[in-house]
Structure 1
Amino acid sequence: MKQGHVLLLFAGRLKKKAHFFGYNSTVWKISVAVYLLCYAGTVQAGVIPADSMRYVDQLNRQAILFQQKELDSAFHYATQAREIATRLDYTKGKADAWHVLGNYYGLNTNNYLCIRYYIDALQAYKKLNDSSGIGQLYARISAYYQQSGQHPSAVHYVNKAMDIGRRLRNDSMYAIILSQYADVNMEDASKQDSVQWALATARPVFNRYHDKPALFQLELLNTRRLLLEKDTAAAREKLHTLLTTASADGYHYPAMNAARLMAATSAGMHQADSIQYLAQMIASSVKGGYRSLMLPYAIQLYDWYTKQGKPDTAAYYSGVLLDILQKRTAVKSDGEMDYISFYTQQHDIHSLKLKRAIQEKILSKQQLEGRIRLFLVGFLSILLVLATLTGIYFFRAFRKTKKNAILLASKNREINEKNILLREHDDFKNKLVSVVAHDFRSPLSNIINIAVFLKEEVLMPEEANEWMMEVERTAGYTLQIFDNIQAWISSQSSGFVYTPEPCTPADMIPEVLQYLEKMISSKQLQIVVDTGSSTVWANREMLQFVHRNLIHNAIKFSPEKGVIHITAHTDHDSMTLSIADNGPGIQEDILPHLFEYSNKKENSGGHEGAGLALIICRDFIDKMNGQLKAGNLPEGGAIFSYSLPLAKPNQLQ
């Protein structure tokens, strides 16, 4: 309902303006209807809220567009934008609206209101630090002084606009400033190169943005340049094209200026069509609402047709003259009243703000007195709280002292436990050194003895060959022991990182058997392998180390022509692999301590024990989240088994 009232009110204002300016009633009805339909559709569809900054910007854009087409429509859009922007306190919207209103009054020859609105807009742009708006407004002020015949002032302001334009990111605004620069300096012979550069720089920018009004203005400047260069024919050809195109597209302001220049050139050439172009200029100004600029030309046409004895045509231009004078009077009175009314309203708003500020000061004083009372109450409360906190502090200090004593006792116990652990580690180190010395002594002694025999040459060639083979076997075993110790020590370091991967024992066992082929052949052993194809989640190097040592032990303790069984089976999510021999087995008193650092290899039935290797194997299996077990078979012989988790399907990818 509210939107309907607004539309009817605006329609009434348009009708009054149409009647006052003498517009054709039917044309104005159609224009009003189209405008109201567009306005209502836009607001009701919710595309742009009627009371929003976006809507103000849209109105200002429409006002700028209509400056070159219908000046009165531009005025209405700018006025509406100013009212909404004032209500919203939208400074940018007000500045843009004042800018357009300044243009409007300048085109209606009301210099006072023109410059007043320009100054208001400039102050607003400076407050916003809007370089684009400031530069464009300097260019407009330059145009104002150029039209007023004050060329030095025009040059001053266009140079200020150029200084700002060079720093603008918006090249379209800079192109507008360049166009005005060319206009101001067109007749300065010393700046013709700069004028040509400005026109050449601005044109591609206007083409890129499809800015028709700016392109029309650029064409007018080019024709002026041609006229200054005395190339009248080329200038008239461009003016004729511009006049036809601008009239067809509804851009009445550039069409009016093109007709004015055509009339001037025709008069200079004493051609009869100068009156025709003057009439066309008046027609464009009437259509676009630029009649205030046409007063001298309307007088000229009135005098000419009077002298020619054409009273009907002279009467038409007499009406145009009357219309121009009435509009000038109306624009001056209405514009000044509108300006005064607007700033009176601003003054009222300022008065209300001042009253509100006074009331806020009174309220602030009352609030300050209340805060002082609260401060006194708070101060006394704080004293009470401090006294309470002091008592609590001493009580908590007593409790904390008692707690610290308990904590100190706990730390002492922890230190004692760590000392015990350090002693255990030291004991382990001593035992490790003992084990290493024991395991390395025997192989190295054999190597030394064999070397002595070979040096004294007391052996036959066949015996020497057998001893050399024994040296090779003993050295290999010694190197294997060294590798075992090195791998195990590496696993004990703090920087060791366990990296599991899918491992298939069925593929790994043959590699170990090939490595131990000579030992197997020398004893004529039979190896029976049945491991299946299960895949476990383990570290390949660690697991292969375990295979090599367990199979090596089975070979070492197996009798001549013995049988070693290597089998595997799965149970839920784990796999168990067993290595069984038919040797003497493990003594019952050694079996419970087989994988410990003490009680190793004592009374092993005349056979050398696994030594440090079994300890390392057990440690590796633990790191791979498995278990290593040892036992004796009922029919005789030892069996070693390990269990490891199976690889999951997502780990096999």
Structure 2
Amino acid sequence: MRIFHYISILLLIFAGSLSAQDKVIHELKQSLAAKKDSIGYVNVLNQLGMQYHLSNADSCFLFTVKARDIATRLGYKKGMADALNNLSIFYALKANMKLAIEYDYKALLLYRYLGDSANVCQVLMNSSIYHNYEGTKPAAGIFLQQAMNIGKHLPNDSIYGLVLINYAIHFGGDTLRQDSVIWAIQKAKEILAKYPGSRNHYYIEAFEADGWMKRGEADKAVKKINQLANRAIGEGLIFVGIDMLEHIETYTKNGHYADVIPYKEKIFALAKQAGYTELMLPTITSLYRYYADKKDAAKTAAYGKVLYELVRRRQEMKSNIQVNHLDYFLKEQALTEWQLSNKVQKEKIAKTNMKKEHRQILIGLLSGVLLLLGGFTFSRYRSYRNLRQQELMLADMNAVISEKNKQLQINDDFKNKLIAIIANDFREPLNNIIKVAVMFRNNAGKEALQEVIDQVDISSRNTLVVFDNILRWIKSQLSGFVYSPMACPLLLFFEEILQGMAPVLINRQISAGLDVAGDILLAGEPEMLQFVNRSLLQYVVSFSPDNHTIGIMAIKEAHRVKVVFTSTAPQITAEMAARLFVHQEVITMVICKDFMDKMGGQIWAEKTGTQLQLIYTLPSFN
């Protein structure tokens, strides 16, 4: 019966620091009903299967098989690994170690594939338990050592504590390893002290009771074991309770006298309740022999029948170990479900007959209540509908007013921008006209007068161009405007602008370094693009010192072209550059940004030291 002592450690890997067993299962079933995604559903099924290991092996099997089928269909490897792990423990509880080892190995392969070191550690430990029970102790020792090597490097060292407990159980009877066994127990105590609610403390306390027994304090040890067993059973941890009671039989074998028959009968009753009967062969055999010697025919027959059934099942497992075992439990569960369904149907029929007697009275009462509620609901509905109509009417009116305010604000902004442009760009030609008038009145010289007239001619032409651009901008702001990009030869555009600005550049002795390839075509609206180019060039010229060179460069970037205007402008700060295209005072720059947005481009300014760069990007027409 030491298998209970080994497998219980294996089960506690999953028990963790949970609250009472029934409460946990109830909470998991509630969360199962609320799960919508299939992966989450598989995880809860596996958790339910894990929990039922400790109290009902057959329920564990059903939840685990369902989780395995769904996980396999989804290709969810973590869910498949957890289900295989649960199945290996289930078959260990059914004393079928060959299948337990097979499923354990399959789970190990998946956990290694997933890189799940914690579960690799616990599966290796399980393998050592199964091989130890099968009698292959060298293999059991190898698996246990592998689990020890992995466990001491895990960040969550609670699993390492379990491996140490298993180590102490595995080598507890080896007189040459008593020092290492004591060390393992002490180390496990230190680790599990971090997890005060863990069920693993049952085994730490059982080790202490074993120590009292070895020192001759038998009564104290037996009392402690009974307390641990009762506490575990009270929390729904039936498997742990059985393992605690097993210590009493071990004490009697080591010289302590106690009547173990009541303990064995209690163990058998608990195992039968939880579905661990296959592990009860030694206990049942002992009870059968005891009552046969006592000439107790009734109990001898009862335990003989159970013993016969266990032996028969083991023979079936030997002949067809996997299929027969699965079929047996599935058919047994199907029979149980059918019996349950039959019982439920009978209860439903009885309840239906009983309800018929009260139905007429209830229908009459409910009809009256429904009439009252209907009248009240209708009156409330009419009030609600009237209120709702008023709310919708107010909402529509507010929406109309809000839209009109928004349109007024847009129109007002547009008007301000338009006035600012006119005030800015028409000032120069008007000033030149005034100069000509003054010079005529003062009889100025012919050469001076000719120079001013030339300036008036140039500025007037530029003003006409600006006026055309303003008209274009006005059209772009009107509803119904559709932007249609065209091929814009950038080099020709700049040559045209520089030709128009030649007098200003010559007067201030400013030159333009034009680095633009002749094959560069931008995808844009020509008039908008010329407005942007002219405005940016005028801006850098206005802030550049005399006798200075302005750089104009075009750079191809994937499917876009980047155009950079470079000049020295010490009076422009980095903050002014950052806000250049959003500041309402520089209205021309704001209009440039509007045009670039419509053409699908970007525009910004950068200031580094005294150097100012105005940059825009547009898609390449190529």
- Smaller-chain TM-score range? 0.3 to 0.5
* Higher RCO (C-alpha under 8 Å, 6+ residues apart): 2
TM-score under structure 1 normalisation?
Answer: 0.46
